[in-house]
Structures are given as C-alpha cells and as structure tokens.
Amino acid sequence: MADNAKNIFVSHHHTDAESIEKLKDLLSKNGLTMRDSSIYESKSQNNAHNEEYIKSLIRPQINWAGEIIVLIGSNTAKSDWVDWEIEAAAKKDKRIIGVYLPGEKDAELSDAFNTYADSLIGWDSSSIIDALNGEDIWVGPARNNMIQGVNC
C-alpha cells in the first residue's frame, strides 16, 4: 500500500504534547504519514513569553498545514492558545478535526471549537484518516451555537 502524507498542525494543551507523537505513530501504522508543523517543547525548546512573537511563530505553521487536528483533553477548553489556533485556522479555511484523547470523551469543548470544527472523533485511526480525507464525522455532544453550512 502506498504511503499517504498529510501536512498537519496539532493544536493542544501543553500538558497533552506527548500525545502528538502517539498520534503520529497511530496514523503511521495505518498508512498515513503525518508531516507535523506543531510547536511543542520536546520538538523545539522555546521560552518566548511575548504573545505577538509567539503568534508570529505559530501562524506560518498553521498556514503550511492542510488540516488542523485539535487534541481534546480535560484542559483543552480552558486554553486560550488552542482557541486562538482554531480561530486562526478557521480564518484560513483549514479543515479542523477534533480528536478525543484516550479516556477523554467527556472533555468539555470550547466555543471556538464548537463554532469552527468540521469533525469530532475518538482516538481511532480509521475515523481520523476519514476526517482528514474530508468526511464530516461528529461523535460527541451537539455543537453549541453552530449554524450548519455557514462559516461564522
């Protein structure tokens, strides 16, 4: 089977960064190579604190990616950075896919995610790959304040 590759930015709460490598492994075992533009500590150390500078680092990473995966865990909805990344991706018409971390199907979803996400799925390689390939799958609570078919 030919190996497929996707350019993906993974938005995540900093405590969930180790799951990015697990996601890469999960997808790789199922024939999809994830070219990762995410920014996280184990990949590249960064002690920046200036908000505009940090955004200037993240924007090109989001622009380069074809799709955005948002790792959904217990702290995701509380992260201003995840919401900012979702909104930045939405402004660029990027496909936004939420993936529940294992054991986190009850995690709260942020308003930005509910507004802009295309799919919400569990930690399942087939579903993740289907969503990356354009299928709109929503497994979880109903979207809040979402108008179907309209970009807000």
pTM for this prediction: 0.86
Sign of CA dihedral 17, 22, 27, 31: positive
State CA 75 to chain mean position distance.
14
CATH class of 8-37+48-132: alpha beta
Q: What is the pLDDT of residue 40?
A: 58
Give the count of beta carbons closer than 10 Å to the beta carbon of residue 44: 9
Domains of the chain, by residue range, sit at: 8-37+48-132
Q: What is the pLDDT of residue 3?
A: 54
Predicted confidence (pLDDT) per residue in 123-138, tens digit:
999 999 999 999 999 9
State the distance between the two ends of the chain, measured CA to CA, in whole angstroms. Answer: 39
Averaged pLDDT, groups of 10, the chain, 152 residues long: 79 90 94 83 56 88 95 94 96 97 94 95 95 92 52 36
- Cβ-in-10-Å burial (0-12, 13-18, 19+) of 55 comes to middle
What is the rounded CA–CA span in Å between residue 66 and residue 36? 10
Closest CA to 95 of 18, 39, 147, 151: 151
